[in-house]
Structure 1
Amino acid sequence: MNRLKLVLPTPEYKNKIMDYKSEFIENGDSMDGTAGLRNTETFEEWYGAFCDNLKEETVRDGLVPATTYMAISIDGGRLIGMIDIRHRLNDSLLNLGGHIGYSVRKPERQQGYATEMLELALIECVKLNIKKVLITCDKDNVASAKTIIKNGAELENEISEGNRITQRYWITLD
C-alpha cells in the first residue's frame, strides 16, 4: 500500500490536529486513538499530555505509557487518521481498550487507510517489544473488525457491558 506514514505530533502540526478535532466533533464521531484530544481545550494542553505519556516516568495518573501517531498521506501530507499504541495494559485496557486505538477522518473511510495504519502500528509494536497485541472494537463496528482481522487478528471473546458488546482480538507478532 505505502500511502501513509506514521508521524509523531509536533507543534508544527497544531492546525492539522485541531482541524481533525473540530471535524470529528462536528460529525459526532468517536475520536479513538487521539490520546484524549477531544477532552482538551488547547493544542498545548493536549501536546503536554502527549509528551508526558510517552514514558513510564512521566505518564499521567491512571494512564499507561503510550505513543500517538498521526497517519499522514505520503502524497499531499494530509492528516488521514490518528493511532495510539499503549505500551502495556492495565486491567481496564485488558478488558475493553486493548493496545491500539485509531480513528480515520470521515471522508477518508472505506479506502483501506485504517488497515494500513494498523499495519504500520504493528511494526511499531515490534520495536516496543510488544509480542502479543490486543485490539478491541464494538461488535457493531463491522468496518473496524474487518480492519483488525485483515491484520491477522483472531477473536478471543466478547464481553458484554450493559448494551455494549466489545470484541477482543489478539495479533501475535514475531
Structure 2
Amino acid sequence: MSLKLKPFSPLDGKKEWELIQKIGEGENGFMNDGFGIPFESFDGYILKNVEMSNGINLKSHLVPQTSYWLTDGETLMGYGKIRHYLNEALLKKGGHIGYCVAPEFRGEGYGKELLKLLLERARYKGIDSALITCSSGNISSQRVIQANGGILQKADENDHWYWVHL
C-alpha cells in the first residue's frame, strides 16, 4: 500500500467525479459539496476548489482550503480538506480538517492514514495545532482522530472538538 495525497487539479475527471458521487451528500458532519452536480459541471467545481486553495474568489465567510484525493496508485479511496486557518464559524464546526473515505474502503484503516497524511500537509502549511470536529455519534471518526494524537477539548450532545498538536 502506497497511499498518497494528490491535490485537486483541472486534470481531474470522470473517476474523481464518480468518487464524489459514491460518497454521497456527506455524513457525520462531512460536507460533500460536489455531490449531485452533473459531470458536465465538474470542471467548474474543481476550478472553484483550486482557486479556493489559492485564496482566489473567496466569499467573505470562507477561508482558503486545499482539497486532496487519497490515492493508492491509480485507485481513488477518499478525499480530504485542509482549511489554512480558522474563522469563528470553523471554530464552532468544521475545524481545520475534514475527510471522508469511500464506502467500499471504510473500516480498513484508510481513514486513519488519510488523516495522518492531511496532518502532515497541515504542518507543512504552518499549522501548529489542528482542530478537528466530528459528530458525537461518529465513534469511528473519534477513534481515527485519537489514533492521530487528537486530544478531546470539549463535547456536547452533537459534536466533539479535538486538537492535534503538530
TM-score, normalising length: structure 1:
0.85
- Give the deviation of 1:33 after TM superposition: 6.3
In structure 2, the partner of 1:168 is: 161
- Paired-residue identity, %: 29
For these two proteins, the number of residue pairs brought into alignment is 163
- Give the deviation of 1:110 after TM superposition: 0.6
Per-residue CA distance 1:80-136 (angstroms, 9 max, x = gap): 000000001111110111100011011100111010011111111111100010001
SS of structure 1 residue aligned to 2:90: helix
- The within-5 A match list for 1:22-33 is 22-25=21-24, 29-30=26-27, 32=30
Q: What is the CA–CA distance in structure 2 between the aligned matches of 1:47 and 1:17, rounded to whole Å?
A: 10
Q: What is the CA–CA distance in structure 2 between the aligned matches of 1:129 and 1:29, rounded to whole Å?
A: 28
In structure 1, the partner of 2:140 is: 143
- Give the deviation of 1:11 after TM superposition: 3.5
Q: What is the CA–CA distance in structure 2 between the aligned matches of 1:140 and 1:49, rounded to whole Å?
A: 32
Moved more, 54-63 or 144-153: 54-63
In structure 1, the partner of 2:45 is: 46
CA RMSD of aligned residues (A): 1.9
Given candidates 106, 119, 122, the residue that maps to 1:122 is 119
Q: What is the CA–CA distance in structure 2 between the aligned matches of 1:48 and 1:12, rounded to whole Å?
A: 10
Per-residue CA distance 1:58-81 (angstroms, 9 max, x = gap): 42342110100000013xx11100
* Unmatched segments (≥5 aa) in structure 1: none
Give the aligned residue type for 2:138: N
Give the aligned residue type for 2:30: D
SS of structure 2 residue aligned to 1:111: coil
- Give the deviation of 1:57 after TM superposition: 4.7
